[in-house]
Structures are given as structure tokens and as C-alpha cells.
Structure 1
Amino acid sequence: MASEEKKSKKEYMREKMIERQQEAKVVRKIVFIISSVLCLLIVGTLTGGYFYIKNALQPVDPDNKTEKKVEIPIGSSVTGISQILEENGIIKDAKVFKYYVKFKNESEFMAGEYSMTPAMTFPEIIESLKTGKIEEEVVFKITIPEGKQLSEIATIIGEKTDHDVDEVFAQLNDEAFINKMMQLYPNLLTNEIFNENIKYPLEGYLFPATYPYYKEEPSIEEIVTVMLAKSEEVIEQYTGPMAEMEYTPHQLLTMASLIEEEATEQVERDQIASVFYNRMDIDMPLQTDPTVLYALGEHKDRVLYEDLEVNDPYNTYKNKGLTPGPIANAGVSSIEAALYPAETDFLYFLATGAGDVLFSKTLDEHNRKKAEHITN
């Protein structure tokens, strides 16, 4: 009886083992099928994407030499130009053209009316956009220096044109106008510019450069779109580093503006950036004087202790972290400093009357330098 029971247990275990082996075979078969299907899908997607892009890189119609008039407005971004070319049947896909231009690091396309055909290749289109000439001569130029605030830029525009300064500043802050600009430059202007506590939505977004104009009396919109297009063109060059820093364009321009306002000609801006980042890492207020002046809404040669008490979201003595938005426009050197800060242990810096900037690791060291170089 015991031997029969022992035998039945062996048979049971053998049956279970066979059953598990069969289940394992089924599981392996299912895994193999699923893996094969996924591989086929991936290969199919990659193959389809490859052939789609390859096709999009080709002329729309190599045999069609019919010329079309294509108007590229002043201030058009690469995104805008790509869309215009697609709408006119000169290219097949605006996004493919846009990324091709970025990959080739092409820029400085010129506005104007062009004669193009569906038979043109990407290199031919790019060459045409770069070498084409606007029929009109440059009537005047507007130079926007680095570190200028929106109100100062409005004054510069007013002085160079027939537009009243107050009219310019009012349009720069008009919600309908700003929304229109957001549609033209969606990669640059996001809803962040309407965040709570933002004083002026377009503050810091009008890039410092010299802009040529080809009309006697361009509208405020025509004047400003060129500046926004330049800002978008510059910011798009730093998409990768921005992603690594987890920065939006708004945050990048905000940090860059703080660096710009603190910088002098003699100092490496990446060291100033390192001080700001070091302070943020230890949850220390940035305590930068230009933010106090921006909060006060006035320009002063010197910030007083009583000024530091102003209750305003832009006052970095009272509030930790970045200001709600930029406090001025920033040039490329400050933008790059914000993205590539130096590696230092500095927590303090001091600008001397000679234009030098002295860096310190401790408050005691900072105060000694202050007593030595700053007179009351």
C-alpha cells in the first residue's frame, strides 16, 4: 500500500513537471511572438520614418520649373519661413525643412519677395534665402543695447521713429498684441509671460542688436517682430543645453537678465552665474541689487539699506530664487553664462568703482573686501 502511494506521488510530480515544461514552452512562444511583433513594429516605424524624411528632403516636383512669388516678411523666424514655403508648395514638410536648417546651422535669412519653384532642392532654397536682396535700401537702423529694460527700449524706438514713446510702451504691453506675437513665436513666448507678478510680459524678450528697417514709417508691430524673431533664433540654438538645465526660455532669459545687470566688461559672467547657482543650491536669497531697483521702478547709482525692504516679488533680498521674469534684455554672453556657469565655491561678489568684480567664499571675506574697496 505504501509503495503504491509512493508511486502515485512520483507520477503526480512527473505530471506536474511535464505540465510546467509545457507552460514554459507556451510562455516562451508568447514572448517570442510578442518580441517579434514589437521588433517588426519598431523596424516598420523606423523604416517608414526614414522613407518619409527621405521623401520630404526631395523637391516637391523636380520637373516643375514654374516660378511662384513667395513673400518672406521682415522678422520671420525659421519656423515661420518653413510654414510659408510649405503653404506655397515649395517644400513638402515645414518641420523637416526647419530641422534641416538647424542641422546645417543655417541662419541670417533675408526678408523679401522671392521667385521659387517646386523643383528647387533644400540647398538651393537656403542659398536663395541667404543671398536674396531686398529691393529697398535701408532707411534707418535701431540699436538696442544689452541690459535695457522694456521702458528704455520703448524710448529708443520712439526717438528713432515718429511713434510716441507712450504709444510704443502701451502697445508693447497690450494683451491683444502680445497674444498675436505669441502665435507668431510660440517657441519663445509661452504662457509664462503672463504669470502672476509679471510686471511687463515682453520684458527681456527684445533681443539686443542693431536692426535695419526698409520703410520710412514702419508700424510698431513691424519694428518689434524683428526683435522677437531674433530672440527666437538665438534661443533655439540652445535647445539642448536648456533641456539639460530643465530651463524654459522664460527661466533662461530671467537668469540671463540677472547676470547681465550685474556684469561688467572686466568680469567673466560665468563666475557671476556660479554665485547665483551656488546660492540657490543652499536655499540662500540671490540678493542682487538690480532686482531691488527694478522693484522700485527707478534707476539709482546706489541702493540704500532702506531700499532692500521694498515689498515686491522682484526683490531678491526678500524672495528666494529667480524673479518672476526677466528684469532686462540679455546678450549672448549672459545667456551662455546662465547655461554654462563656472564651477566655483563663491557665494559673494562685489563690484568696485574701477569696474572689477571681487569674489568671496565667505561673508567675512566679502565684508573685508567691501571695507577695503567701497567707501561710504
Structure 2
Amino acid sequence: MYGRLILLIILVAFLVAGVIGYQMTRWADSPVATDPRQAQPKIVTIPEGATFQQIAAQLERERLIKSRSRFVLLGRSHSADRRIISGEYELNPGMKPQEILDKLVAGQVVLHPITVPEGYSIAQIADVLDIDKLVDAREFRRLCTDREFIRSLEIDAASLEGYLFPDTYHVARGTKAKDLIHVMVSKLWQVFTPAWRLRAADMRMTMHQVLTLASVIEKETSVGEERELISAVFHNRLRRKIPLQSDPTVIYGLEQFDGNLRKRDLSDHSPYNTYRVRGLPPGPIASPGAQSIRAALYPANAAYLYFVSRNDGTHYFSSTLDEHNHAVEKFQKRPFRRMAGARL
């Protein structure tokens, strides 16, 4: 008799559990909104350290689930209540509670694009981060000159200038600065292929020197087909021990620059003043793109030693000083005199 009673209790318990499980399954598959027009997406931020009960209450307030208590039960039944990852999520009332739970556990947070243009310096990249507020810009700046952190990236340099590859990165809000830097440096290692490293060794150039030269090329022109020619000019000058005389390097070394490079700036004692200092500057002056890195490694087969702006985005290249002076007269001095005369 006693054994039959226990068996009956067990059967009832199984039946109740089955009914509850069936109801939970139906609820987990029942979204708040069944009309697609009502299922407008919204961004929900799950705070770091929030309890599962708090998260369920938040989802209920946002009208993404019907019942916080059932959502808590759903989470516990899947052992997911302690595995929620904080961050921004795009959710909508047309999602089933199970789908919402799966997304929170998987950490499928919203990713925002951060575009770093070719030729941007660390300071300019930090300004981009400061505008978007996705990554701590102040910490980013600090880490870029932190010697211990830089060594941990296996980089032998005083700063990460030139080592942060320009590209579009997709990051979650609140991404740590060190994590973004790791991704940017890793992208550089991918781009700087083993073949390019062998080429640098054949040219007796370190990776730091290649990136330095590539950054100067990057700042000198935005015209793709000119990069190899400008690289040829600089390689020829380096070989002959002629100062590079690159305005972008001078500008980089100035403490303040108002947009006008003056004659006195060319006498500045900065190590980046390539009018006074022979050879490459101490390090990169910006983040070069793949095209400029390749140009630094594979300069055009040309005897050019000079180039001057045509004032249309392109440059005129010369092999002799006499030819260069004529080009300066034609493209720089003569148009300037015309403009001055027109103003009078």
C-alpha cells in the first residue's frame, strides 16, 4: 500500500513536471509581438554585474518579454542565469524569449564600425575614438607610448606610431583600449607578409625602417600610382646621403602647427626635421596603408631625386636640381605671383 502511494506521487510529479515543461516550452517560443510591424528593434544595454533577475525585469520593462519570472525560470532551466554577457544588444519584441536568452548567452553584442584612414597618426586615431566614445581614448593614448605594453606586442619602438594598421574595425561599446590595439597590430602582421619581410631583409631594412619610410610616402601623396615614384626619390636620396627634405616629417616634429609651414620651421632642431637631419626620421609619422608599405619595399626603377606639387594633387618629378627649380617656378612661384597680383 505504502509503495503504491509513493509510485503515485512520483507519477503525479512527473506529470506536473511535464505540464510545466510543456508550458515553458510554449512560452519560450511565444514572442511579445506577432505582427512584424510591432517588432521594431531597439538597443538594450545589459550593465556589467547585473543579476539575472535585474536583466529579466529590464527586458520586461522594455516589453521584450511577457513575464520576468518565467524568463528567470527559463534561464535557470538552461543553466544560463549566470552566463549572461554584458553589453549592447539589438533586440525586438518579435524575438522568442529563447532567442533572446541565446543571444545574451552568446554575447552577440552590437558592433560599431571605427574607420581609421590611411595616414592617420596616433593623436588623430585617438580623436576618432574620443568622438565615438566606444573606446577609452585617454587609455588608448597612454598605451601607445607605454614601453612595457609595447614590448608585450613584440615591437621594439618607443611608440606604436605606424604600427596601428588603418582599416575599418567593428567593436563593441566599452571595448578595452588594449584589445583594440591588439587587433590593429595583428592586422599589420597579417598585411606585412613573410615575402615582404624577406624583401626588407634583402634591402637591409628593419621593419621599423620600412614602416617609417612608408609613413612618409603615405603623407606625401594620396595618388596610388605616385607612391612607387616618391619611394624611388627617397631611396635615391638615402643612398646618396641627401636629406629627404620632407615637409610632413617636419610638421610631425613641431609642437604646434597652424597649417602653414614657415621657413623658420625648416630650421627646427627636431629629429624629425629631415631638412637638417640626414636619413630616415626616428620612427613613423603616421599609419601607412598596404600600398605605401609595398611602395617602400618596391620603389620604381627611376633616377628621380626631386618632386614638387602641381597643386592638383599630383607631383612633378625631376632628376636634376636645374629641372626641379624650373618645376618649382612653374608650379609654385608663378601661380603664387599671379594670385598676389590678382589680389592687388
- TM superposition score category, shorter chain reference: 0.5 to 0.7
Partner of residue 263, structure 1: 221
Partner of residue 278, structure 2: 320
* Pick aligned residue for 1:169 from 141, 151, 156: 141
**Per-residue deviation at 1:244?**
1.2
TM normalised by structure 1 equals: 0.57
User: How far, CA to CA, are the matches of 2:317 and 2:216 in structure 1?
Assistant: 17
User: How far, CA to CA, are the matches of 2:254 and 2:126 in structure 1?
Assistant: 19
**Per-residue deviation at 1:294?**
0.8
1:245 aligned onto 2:215: no
Partner of residue 181, structure 2: 224
List structure 1 runs of 4+ shifted beyond 4 angstroms. Answer: none
Q: Contact (CA 8 Å) 1:350, 1:359: kept in 2 or not?
A: yes
SS at match of 1:268: helix
1:149 aligned onto 2:105: no
Partner of residue 108, structure 2: 136
* 1:236-315 matches, cutoff 5 A: 236-237=193-194, 238-265=196-223, 267-315=225-273
Partner of residue 233, structure 1: 190
Q: Contact (CA 8 Å) 1:267, 1:356: kept in 2 or not?
A: no
User: How far, CA to CA, are the matches of 2:329 and 2:215 in structure 1?
Assistant: 28
Paired AA for residue 221 in structure 1: K
Paired AA for residue 222 in structure 2: T
**Per-residue deviation at 1:163?**
4.6
Paired AA for residue 233 in structure 1: Q
Q: Contact (CA 8 Å) 2:215, 2:286: kept in 1 or not?
A: yes
Paired AA for residue 148 in structure 2: A
Q: Contact (CA 8 Å) 2:267, 2:276: kept in 1 or not?
A: yes
* Pick aligned residue for 1:207 from 161, 165, 178: 165
Change (3 A) 1:175 1:266: closer
SS at match of 2:219: helix
RMSD over aligned Cα, in angstroms? 1.8
Q: Contact (CA 8 Å) 1:267, 1:357: kept in 2 or not?
A: no
User: How far, CA to CA, are the matches of 2:186 and 2:110 in structure 1?
Assistant: 19
Paired AA for residue 127 in structure 2: T
TM normalised by structure 2 equals: 0.63
1:357 aligned onto 2:315: yes
Deviations along 1:35-61, one digit per CA (max 9) or x if unpaired, are: xxxxxxxxxxxxxxxxxxxxxxxxxxx
Paired AA for residue 143 in structure 1: T
Tell me how many residue pairs correspond in the alignment.
Answer: 228
Paired AA for residue 234 in structure 1: V
* Pick aligned residue for 2:150 from 156, 178, 183: 178
**Per-residue deviation at 1:290?**
0.5
User: How far, CA to CA, are the matches of 1:278 and 1:149 in structure 2?
Assistant: 26
Percent of residue pairs bearing the same amino acid type: 39
Change (3 A) 1:248 1:177: same
**Per-residue deviation at 1:286?**
0.5
User: How far, CA to CA, are the matches of 1:283 and 1:308 in structure 2?
Assistant: 18
